[in-house]
């Protein structure tokens, strides 16, 4: 498995197990950890199923070696991180969302660096 594939695989696992399942199955507890409320809890369950599905697609892309998805995921994750940060900046959500924003930006950067390292390794051969 390439470095880029490993970063995307780990991010997919995070989306499925760290975001998707907790938001789907125990939304009040999960959001309570970050000082947030689930409200009527249906919206957060939708977020959970969407995050889990996207994570599953990332894992499938790695398992099928669909390498273009690796690079496509990078700007998408930066956009997601920026959106969350802007929502915090405008006071629409609490500061806790910056944790998710930072994690998306950090993992996107890891994937981007891994893609470059994998490309450099192939070029050196």
Gap between the Cα atoms of 48 and 102, Å rounded = 19
For residue 125, what pLDDT is reported? 67
Gap between the Cα atoms of 69 and 58, Å rounded = 8
Burial of residue 75 (number of CB atoms within 10 Å: 0-12, 13-18, 19+): exposed
Q: Domain locations in the chain?
A: 3-124
For residue 37, what pLDDT is reported? 79
Using alpha carbons only, give the angle 15, 12, 61 rounded to the nearest 5 degrees: 145
For residue 94, what pLDDT is reported? 84
Residue 110 has, within 13 A of its CA and on its CB side, a CA count of 15
Gap between the Cα atoms of 13 and 64, Å rounded = 16
Torsion region of 91: left, alpha or beta (phi above 0 gives left; psi -120 to 50 gives alpha): left
For residue 108, what pLDDT is reported? 98
Instruction: Kindly state the tokens that stand for 63.
Output: 């398992």
Q: Looking up tokens 């498995």, which residue turns up?
A: 1
User: What predicted TM-score, i.e. pTM, was given to this entire model?
Assistant: 0.90
pLDDT tens for the 125 residues of the chain, in order: 999 999 999 999 999 999 999 999 999 998 888 878 777 888 899 999 999 999 999 999 999 999 999 999 999 999 999 999 999 999 988 888 899 999 999 999 999 999 999 988 778 76
């Amino acid at each position: 498995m390439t470095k880029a594939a490993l970063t995307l695989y780990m991010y997919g696992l995070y989306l499925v197990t760290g975001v998707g399942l907790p938001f789907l199955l125990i939304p009040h507890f999960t959001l309570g950890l970050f000082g947030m409320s689930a409200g009527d809890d249906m919206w957060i369950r939708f977020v959970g199923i969407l995050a889990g599905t996207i994570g599953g697609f990332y894992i499938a892309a790695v398992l099928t070696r669909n390498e273009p998805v690796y690079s496509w995921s990078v700007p998408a994750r930066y956009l997601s991180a920026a959106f969350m940060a802007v929502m915090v900046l405008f006071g629409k959500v609490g500061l806790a969302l910056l944790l998710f924003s930072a994690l998306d930006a950090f993992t996107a950067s890891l994937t981007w660096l891994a893609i470059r390292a994998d490309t450099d390794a192939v070029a050196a051969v």
